[in-house]
């Protein structure tokens, strides 16, 4: 019998190893021979052997599949490399950042994926000290689940521990449980921004720059705001726009593949915006705004464009709005709750829920409903 026995408070206890944890369990015996006999009947010795075998199996799986010890850190590196082929760079970068932060907080970087438990995840995602809102916790848990789905597909784990984790609403305040209200721009606010940027552009041309250091920065924002207001395109898609998307055989249209969904989408634009496009300077042979594209492609810098726009809104005294609010503006302005008269809908130049979903590139109409105010 190799299981350790120890006398505690006059009673012999057996050392039990299970799931990486060690506990001392009372045998109820005050003499050693009787304790040994109870131990033999209990099957504890077998439990300890199984526990050791489990640790050996987890390590062996990593060695067989990777040729070296498979740790969570190594698994995350492989995840980032493989997922970058099929997923949007922003999505992969965000997931890697979230999972990496969780691994560090949970101290599981050196563990094999098969040794990670639901407790490692739940303790982090439901930590009240984080101060996260419900929506932030949901996104973070989604990132961790995506990572473990990948581990499962690679055969590194048998059961997904993240699927056993749920948000603990009792650990959140009422404010944290509430979804943040996303308000669209008003028509007056959009006009105000366009008017201000047009004035900035004129000052750039006379050498009296105020908001940006270079005229093409102002050109980008003036174009981006006008295009987003007319089409609802995301800032990341506008920043990466190619000249081919504005080709002359598609006059009056913008055709592109959206970064987030890899979906082809086509938008009709106004003659005024088409004329504005004709005046844009050609800085790069392929991309309309190469500098902004470089920023958006760098995970460490891409937030910089949102910060620039936030400063613009702050200067114009426009509160609680982001560039994404232009997407809400387009959806809301395109939709009207009309009666069943199809002619009335056409005369009002409004779009149905299905049409707006297609316009924004949404695959789920419920997502589109949250954009209508």
Please, what are the domains in the chain? 5-66 (no CATH), 72-177 (1.10.150), 187-369 (1.10.443.10)
Q: Where are the beta strands (DSSP E) in the chain?
A: 5-8, 11-18, 21-26, 253-257, 264-268
Q: What are the percentages of helix, strand and coil residues in the chain, rounded to 5?
A: 60, 10, 35
Residues 12 and 22 sit within 8 Å (Cβ to Cβ): no
Spans of the chain, pLDDT less than 70? 1-3, 17-21, 42-68, 180, 205-215, 248-250, 336-350
What pLDDT sits at residue 230? 92
What pLDDT sits at residue 67? 47
d(C-alpha 371, C-alpha 360), whole Å: 10
Q: 0.85 exceeded by the pTM?
A: no
What pLDDT sits at residue 340? 44
Identify the three-state secondary structure at position 14.
Answer: strand
Residues 293 and 305 sit within 8 Å (Cβ to Cβ): no
Q: What angle do CA 48, 50, 51 make, to 5 degrees?
A: 65
d(C-alpha 251, C-alpha 268), whole Å: 9
Angle between helices 118-125 and 89-106 (to 10 degrees): 100
What pLDDT sits at residue 349? 53
Distance (Å) of CA 294 to CA 86, 161, 301? 20, 37, 9
CA 117, chain centre distance (Å): 23
Tokens linked to 213: 């250091």
What pLDDT sits at residue 120? 95
CA 127, chain centre distance (Å): 19
CB atoms within 10 A of CB 188: 9
What pLDDT sits at residue 196? 92
CB atoms within 10 A of CB 109: 13
What pLDDT sits at residue 2? 47
Distance (Å) of CA 14 to CA 4, 19, 39, 52, 56? 6, 16, 8, 16, 23
Category of 42 on φ-ψ map: left (φ > 0), alpha (ψ -120 to 50) or beta: alpha
């Amino acid at each position: 019998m190799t299981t350790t026995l120890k006398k505690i408070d006059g009673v012999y206890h057996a050392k039990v190893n299970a799931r990486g944890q060690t506990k001392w369990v009372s045998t109820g015996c005050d003499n050693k021979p009787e304790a040994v006999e109870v131990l033999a009947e209990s099957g504890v010795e077998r439990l300890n052997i199984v526990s050791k075998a489990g640790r050996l199996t987890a390590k062996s799986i990593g060695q067989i599949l990777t040729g070296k010890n498979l740790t969570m850190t190594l698994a995350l590196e492989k995840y980032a490399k493989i997922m970058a082929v099929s997923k949007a760079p922003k999505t992969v970068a965000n997931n890697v950042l979230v999972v990496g932060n969780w691994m560090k907080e949970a101290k599981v970087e050196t563990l094999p994926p098969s040794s990670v438990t639901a407790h490692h995840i739940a303790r982090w995602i439901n930590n009240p000290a984080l101060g996260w809102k419900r929506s932030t916790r949901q996104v973070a848990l989604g990132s961790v689940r995506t990572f473990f789905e990948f581990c499962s597909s690679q055969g590194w784990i048998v059961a997904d521990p993240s699927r056993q984790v749920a948000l603990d609403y009792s650990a959140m305040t009422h404010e944290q449980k509430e979804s943040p209200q996303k308000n669209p721009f008003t028509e007056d606010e959009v006009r105000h921004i366009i008017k201000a940027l047009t004035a900035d552009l004129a000052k750039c041309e006379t050498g009296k720059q105020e908001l940006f250091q270079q005229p093409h920065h102002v050109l980008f924002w003036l174009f981006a705001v006008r295009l987003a207001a007319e089409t609802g395109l995301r800032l990341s898609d506008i920043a990466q726009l190619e000249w081919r998307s504005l080709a002359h055989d598609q006059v009056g249209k913008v055709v592109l593949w959206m970064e987030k969904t890899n979906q082809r989408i086509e938008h009709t634009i106004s003659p005024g915006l088409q004329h504005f496009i004709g005046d844009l300077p050609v800085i790069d042979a392929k991309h309309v705004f190469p500098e902004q594209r470089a920023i958006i492609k760098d995970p460490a810098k891409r937030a910089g464009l949102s910060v620039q726009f936030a400063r613009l809104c702050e200067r114009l005294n426009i509160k609680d709005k982001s560039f994404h609010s232009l997407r809400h503006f387009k959806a809301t302005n395109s939709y009207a709750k009309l009666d069943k008269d199809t002619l009335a809908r056409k005369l009002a130049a409004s779009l149905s829920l299905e049409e707006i979903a297609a316009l924004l590139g949404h695959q789920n109409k419920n997502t589109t409903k949250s954009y209508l105010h």
